[in-house]
Structure 1
Amino acid sequence: MLETLAQCPAGLPLRDLAHRLKIPAAAAERAVQGLVDGGFLFRSADGTVNLSVKLAALGLAYLGTSGITDLVQPILDDLAKRTGELVRLAVVESDHLTWVAKSQSTQSGLFYVPHTEPEVYLAATANGQAWLANLSDEQVKIVVEKQGLHRSGLGPNAPATIEQLLTQIERTRQLGYACVTEAYEIGTSAMATAIRKRGVGTPVGTISVAGPTIRMTPARMTEIAPWLLASADELGAAAASSPLFSLT
């Protein structure tokens, strides 16, 4: 319910909310009232259900104590400044990736504005493929099938089959970073690599650089790659002292 309302800043009527969640209106009403009592939701004068600022405040407080502000953000800002593009950080949570931080360079007049969904779509994103490259092929199949391989609105280069995805993942393993061009979205390209605590072990997150395809050419990605990998190493060192990277 909270995730659904986070995508609707204007709020939703209770009936629409129940329809989206595929639950009875009475069940939605009970859940809403409990969240209203807890201060997480409020009802507008017209009855629309809205998120309160309490949830955002809790999220910001958690990120502040997790090391994002002091340890992580300067690294993201530096990479964004070097590349002139959007830099994003995702952390591993069990069998998926969640976006947690970003930095947007102000050097260019053409910006890439990503979708706001919290969970990373694995099959067609550079972050997703960078993480999947550290799993076995069998694990990749299980994780991707659970999330779903086919999604509407993807770019023309999104993998349509597990076999195509595994081919792209093998290339990622060879390079040490993932590159996608017009896969998740038309007109955008991105590259990403995994973050490991002190450079070893199981990945705890991923870092990516993304921008318009007209700028993020293969040659430009090759130029950015050393900066991306160096930033991942810095984040790996910071991960040792941040609870944010202890969610796997």
Structure 2
Amino acid sequence: MSNAEVESPAAGGVQSVDRALRILEILARSGESGVTDIAGALEVHKSTAFRLVATLEQHGLVEQVEGRGKYRLGVGLLRLAGATSARLDVVQEARPLCKQLAADTGETVNIATLSGGSALYLDQVAGPSALQPHNWVGQHIPLHATSNGKVLMAWLDDAELKRLLGGLPSYTGLTITSRSALRKELEVVRDQGYALAVDELEVGLAAIAAPVRNAHGDVICSLSVSGPTFRLTDERMGTVVPMLLEAADELSHRLGWGHR
């Protein structure tokens, strides 16, 4: 047995992941490859290569070429790539609109999407009034305490909403912590077409969010404007909301919803 085959249990998991990724790279280069060739490229026993390939096959990441005893990349990779591509498409289409909205409002504009039980920020553009904005890109935030989260929940069906609603922790004295109160809030969001969150996640922070839809009319992300409460007053909100709704509507149209 070679030194490469001797591994501690702790290191084994990481090494297996590394080898599995290398298999995908091998198949990407070669198009098709047998287990013997894969084992040779990895410098591992054939049985080890077979187990790795079999695991990848279970997840649809590789598939067997019928009658040839070889493997190629599977359609499962397309599903993963499609999910990433969809997010990148949203960010790409949204960027000029976000820049314009940030310039028009002077505040920070964010794009967020549902990710598990939280909202994931995909992109952010700071307006001229936001001197040192917190960079939210790549961060997860609670759904119930944010305008983005409320929008992302408002159009879910009851089953999905129940699955997402675990505990509702309090972040400030104004955070919604009651499920019944949250459901009423989501009804308001659906009725008016946008969500507000003032002092709910952080004292002094105000935000407005609107839904962005895909070609099927599904809410796939939210577009928001956020800033300090001393600037985003009730009067200022009345000016910002129409601009936000127009930008969210335009982004939805660019993603194929309600073709003009």
What is the identity, as a one-letter code, of the residue corresponding to 2:121? Answer: W
The answer to whether the 8 Å contact 2:120/2:138 transfers is no
Q: Is the 8 A contact 1:90 1:206 kept in 2?
A: yes
Out of 161, 171, 186, the residue aligned to residue 140 of structure 1 is: 161
Aligned residues between the structures: 189
Structure 2: distance between partners of 1:71 and 1:90:
14
Matched, 1:121 2:137: no
Aligned residues: CA RMSD: 3.2
Is residue 234 from structure 1 mapped to residue 256 from structure 2 by the alignment?
no
Residue 102 of structure 1: CA displacement?
Answer: 1.0
Which of 182, 187, 212 in structure 2 is aligned with 1:165? 182
| Structure 2 gaps, min length 5 | 1-7, 23-80
Report whether the alignment pairs 1:149 with 2:165. Answer: no
Which whole-Å CA distance do the structure 2 matches of 1:167 and 1:141 have between them? 14
Checking the alignment, whether the CA contact within 8 Å between 1:141 and 1:162 is kept in structure 2 is no
Distance in 1 between the 2:205 and 2:14 partners? Answer: 38
| Residues 1-248 of structure 1 mapped to structure 2, 5 A cutoff | 27=10, 29-33=11-15, 66-67=88-89, 70-92=92-114, 97-105=119-127, 107-108=128-129, 110-113=131-134, 115=136, 118-136=139-157, 139-145=160-166, 148-150=167-169, 154-197=171-214, 201-240=217-256
What is the TM-score when the length of structure 2 is the normalising length? 0.62
Structure 1 unmatched ranges of 5 or more: 1-24, 40-58, 242-248
Which of structures 1 and 2 has the larger relative contact order (alpha carbons within 8 angstroms, sep 6+)?
A: 1
Q: Give the TM-score normalised by the residue count of structure 1.
A: 0.64
* Inter-partner Cα distance in structure 2 for 1:65 and 1:185: 27
Q: Over residues 217-243 of structure 1, what are the superposed CA-to-partner deviations in whole Å (9 max), with x where a residue is unaligned?
A: 1221111111111111111122239xx
Single out whichever of 119-128 and 63-72 deviates more from structure 2: 63-72
8 Å Cα contact 2:91-2:122 kept in structure 1: no
Matched to 2:187, the amino acid is E
Conservation of the 8 A alpha-carbon contact between 1:111 and 1:212: no
The offset of 1:98, in angstroms, is 2.4
Secondary structure of the residue that 1:67 maps to in structure 2?
A: helix
2:196 touches 2:208 (CA, 8 Å); kept in 1? yes
Q: Are the counterparts in 2 of residues 137 and 166 from structure 1 also a CA contact under 8 Å?
A: no
Secondary structure of 1:215's counterpart equals coil
Decide whether the 8 Å contact of 2:124 with 2:136 is kept in 1.
no
Percent identity between the aligned chains? Answer: 28
Instruction: Specify the code of the residue in structure 1 equivalent to 2:142.
Output: Y
